[in-house]
Structure 1
């Protein structure tokens, strides 16, 4: 295999069985986990940015991103049911293409989850400050609610305390137990789904809804050009962040009852649910208040989040603010069509529900790092399981502190694009792994088989590469730089400590039934 050191399926399952996590989650809880992470920052925060890139073509952007995620989910479903352990794309790559490539995937997932969790923490901090001012007439001082390096954030910031607080609170919740985390997540999911259902019910039948608002449908075209991040495809590359999270379902496979059945249901069910919701929400927003981008003098939309766009938005009165200028797009739409009270409630719902996104991102991050530690590629103490809580408390605490630190001090501008780069790489590797396993382990039982894999696999690879090439250039370059840092760490530390490299296996293959599942 590529680069050698391929870990057999038997060895992976035996390691998980000897040092395993507690199985408590069912199919419904997995769907809620997926929905909890998917419905969050993307739809509540990135709707305006997506409209600035694509205009009314935002609907098409959601469909493009959703389609690529659906074909990727079909690949995830087969391999997650086949290898029902924590670790997600990292574990799957280890079993098919070897340790070096598995390390790069795990390293990319660390970037994805940690960066995204930090970004959502900072977004939650902004909601908190806005609500405090709206309802109580005060807010945190700028020095305590803005990062000193924040791009486009509060000037004069020293530390973002609310962001630190919410990151550490979600970390504590994950440490005390997966079941408790799932229960809290279920409540937060119910709040988000109720809020978005109300939005759809008030906008689509509204008298303000007009098909004229969809013309021109693609003011920036379908393709914005390499590295521009514009057009429907450029918007899809950005709002792909709105779908990040469904893969976290696969990281929960080791804590799932009957994973061969429940993991595919959780993956595909949560994704289909969210895709339909997103398209309906986008239709309601654009159809009622319009979603045309603000164009520059050259007829090209100003970059989302740019100073030029901010200056243009500052020229509008508060009651005439375009959708693309709003920091709380959905609440803004409801206020514009006469539902101010409901709009404020939706803002509160977003504020209350965003922590569930942080929760699942942290969950995915800790489970990937847990398995990398269990394989000896990260310090082995990180994979200790708490005797009472039955969770990997050490790596959870380390991850939470790192995410809180990043949320407190580091730039958050364009982090969605950066997180997307790592996610797209992981999705591509999963598609390759499924196709490789069809050749190398054709007789292994598969509770779920990806239909027409000869088509779905290449489509997933092509789709992820396509979206990656339509990210802004600065986001594209982060992934190779991060990969180089990771490879340096691997060759200086991890390679010599790898259990597989040192010949350490939990159970020899002849001691197990071939590919025995863990139940």
Structure 2
């Protein structure tokens, strides 16, 4: 049977039980932690792409994406508190739905984190070229060195996004040699991000340039642009869902939280609601001051974000200052309304903060790869640890090169859509896993129980599926193609080399680096 290999949950929890983490976090601390994890990449990078898809309806898009995230977060919290070990949704699936489906989830997570890191690299490139080079140094990189090629929708005249390539390789090198973020440095970067966006909201909403007429029409492409089009408020929600990724970090802190039944949902829902309101105010400030209407094609549908057609329109004088044409949207808005100095400071904030996001995404991707390799599903040479640096340098180097190449040749909006496809699939499977565990193991200790799971679980599944079907058709197509490649690898290599299939469960602790080796009883059938 293809679905028979389920990793024993007791074996997975054996490692987690060795931890003695102190429960010290309260609801407010969790909420602040979540806000710091969520705010960053998406709002700095994808505001222009979202406006091109939905116009002022971008504000509604943030509400739709935030609502899906809230129900997904509640599902994530229960299972993360139960299984607080390495591997994220991959490990959860392994313990509930078996190796085959766990493989598809892990394979999707590899895509998600790698492509997301590429998207952030491209976003960083926009702020680096626009703020650091153009505004401060008076250096203007030629288009062919600062944008991806036309293939698959790059910017006109582009050949390679050199800054994105360089930052991805630099962060990869730092990760390989073992350089980790300092908690204090990260806290400073979070403070810089939140302060910069708060200043943006205050300056734009109180500006003399703010004009309510800029919001008319509010939904130029409608609420629902149609499956596979990626436009309208729902299509924009499918893209800017990327702006919320990171909330799952809150759920991983469940075992360190005082009274998790009360404080975890407050932390999760509170941080998501705060960020949703924050994002809506940022969108309102940007659109209300310089406008955010999409550039329409001849058929009355917005040109695809990052497309050759949009690049041609943006090159025209009439659209040169449009929000939807900017690679550094928020800094651009402030410059347009007379706050160039503060706009440049906001650009510097993004320039400083985004590399840390790339590092976290690359770290997460390589650790998923690492755990799958240690399970025998990928060649074990990939999990080789460097004798000096003590990091999985082989898989980190491979991942970094792929991330850098994708960043060099693809536009940010397209990368975000592809990353979201993998994320939405993983979140959907987490909701399925939570509901399955409630049926198959109802007596298991749960530090946090998802409230009204009969409603929240199906809402997560339907919400993730709905957003997936509203991604651009090309982005939707990437996931099944990637999955098909993964299935070939699974049946050709992974299934025969799986440790579980060979009768051994190996658990790698993500904190202590300890292993638990548990043989499966030889009298029981394994395959």
Question: RMSD across aligned C-alpha pairs, in angstroms?
Answer: 3.4
Q: How many angstroms apart in 2 are the aligned matches of 1:485 and 1:128? A: 35
Please name the residue that 2:302 is paired with: 301
Please name the residue that 1:281 is paired with: 282
SS state at 1:414 partner: helix
Distance apart, 1:51 and its partner CA: 1.2
Contact preservation (8 Å) 1:209, 1:284? yes
Q: How many angstroms apart in 2 are the aligned matches of 1:334 and 1:219? A: 24
Deviations 1:21-72 (A, max 9, x none): x989986998777555533332122111211211111100011001101110
Q: Does 1:359 pair with 2:398?
A: no
Please name the residue that 1:472 is paired with: 472
Please name the residue that 1:44 is paired with: 44
Deviations 1:350-398 (A, max 9, x none): 1221112212211221221222122221233444567887755554344
Contact preservation (8 Å) 2:123, 2:412? no
Q: How many angstroms apart in 1 are the aligned matches of 2:184 and 2:366? A: 19
Contact preservation (8 Å) 1:39, 1:243? yes
Distance 1:334 1:25, change over 3 A: farther
Distance apart, 1:172 and its partner CA: 4.2
Deviations 1:182-214 (A, max 9, x none): 444323222211110110111222233233222
Q: Does 1:193 pair with 2:194?
A: yes
Q: How many angstroms apart in 2 are the aligned matches of 1:472 and 1:37? A: 27
Contact preservation (8 Å) 1:189, 1:356? no
Contact preservation (8 Å) 2:148, 2:154? no
Task: Name the stretch that deviates more: 308-317 or 262-271.
Answer: 262-271
Q: How many angstroms apart in 1 are the aligned matches of 2:473 and 2:162? A: 31
Distance 1:296 1:166, change over 3 A: closer
Deviations 1:117-143 (A, max 9, x none): 122223323332332132222255667
Distance apart, 1:169 and its partner CA: 3.2
Task: Name the stretch that deviates more: 481-490 or 27-36.
Answer: 27-36
Distance apart, 1:404 and its partner CA: 2.8
Q: How many angstroms apart in 1 are the aligned matches of 2:112 and 2:59? A: 25
Q: How many angstroms apart in 2 are the aligned matches of 1:15 and 1:480? A: 34
Aligned residues: 505
Q: How many angstroms apart in 2 are the aligned matches of 1:73 and 1:325? A: 33
Distance apart, 1:102 and its partner CA: 0.4
Task: Name the stretch that deviates more: 335-344 or 208-217.
Answer: 208-217
Contact preservation (8 Å) 2:504, 2:520? no
Distance apart, 1:286 and its partner CA: 1.8
SS state at 2:378 partner: coil
SS state at 2:76 partner: helix
Distance 1:129 1:403, change over 3 A: same
Distance 1:104 1:26, change over 3 A: farther
Contact preservation (8 Å) 1:88, 1:247? no
Contact preservation (8 Å) 1:164, 1:405? yes
Alignment of 1:324-335 (within 5 A): 324-335=324-335
Distance 1:406 1:332, change over 3 A: closer
Alignment of 1:197-216 (within 5 A): 197-216=198-217
Distance 1:29 1:101, change over 3 A: farther
Contact preservation (8 Å) 2:45, 2:120? no
Contact preservation (8 Å) 1:218, 1:232? yes
Distance 1:424 1:7, change over 3 A: same
Contact preservation (8 Å) 1:37, 1:360? no
Q: Does 1:102 pair with 2:102?
A: yes
Contact preservation (8 Å) 1:233, 1:470? yes
Distance 1:408 1:303, change over 3 A: closer
TM-score (norm 2): 0.85
Alignment of 1:218-237 (within 5 A): 218-237=219-238
Task: Name the stretch that deviates more: 228-237 or 146-155.
Answer: 146-155
Q: How many angstroms apart in 2 are the aligned matches of 1:396 and 1:266? A: 32
Deviations 1:433-460 (A, max 9, x none): 0000111111111111111000000000
Contact preservation (8 Å) 1:148, 1:409? yes
Q: How many angstroms apart in 2 are the aligned matches of 1:270 and 1:54? A: 25
Distance 1:478 1:181, change over 3 A: farther
Q: How many angstroms apart in 2 are the aligned matches of 1:344 and 1:274? A: 23
TM-score (norm 1): 0.87
Distance 1:248 1:301, change over 3 A: same
Q: How many angstroms apart in 1 are the aligned matches of 2:283 and 2:447? A: 36
Deviations 1:54-91 (A, max 9, x none): 11111000110011011101100110011001111111
Consecutive unaligned residues of structure 2, counting only runs of 5 or more, are 506-515, 522-527
Distance apart, 1:231 and its partner CA: 0.8
Contact preservation (8 Å) 2:156, 2:311? no
Task: Name the stretch that deviates more: 210-219 or 173-182.
Answer: 173-182
Q: How many angstroms apart in 2 are the aligned matches of 1:174 and 1:248? A: 19
Contact preservation (8 Å) 1:11, 1:508? yes
Contact preservation (8 Å) 1:148, 1:155? yes
Please name the residue that 1:314 is paired with: 315
Task: Name the stretch that deviates more: 226-235 or 380-389.
Answer: 380-389
Q: Does 1:73 pair with 2:102?
A: no
Please name the residue that 2:511 is paired with: none
Distance apart, 1:3 and its partner CA: 1.0
Q: Does 1:152 pair with 2:154?
A: yes
Contact preservation (8 Å) 2:227, 2:469? yes
Distance apart, 1:399 and its partner CA: 2.6
SS state at 1:321 partner: coil
Please name the residue that 2:375 is paired with: 375
Distance apart, 1:160 and its partner CA: 4.7
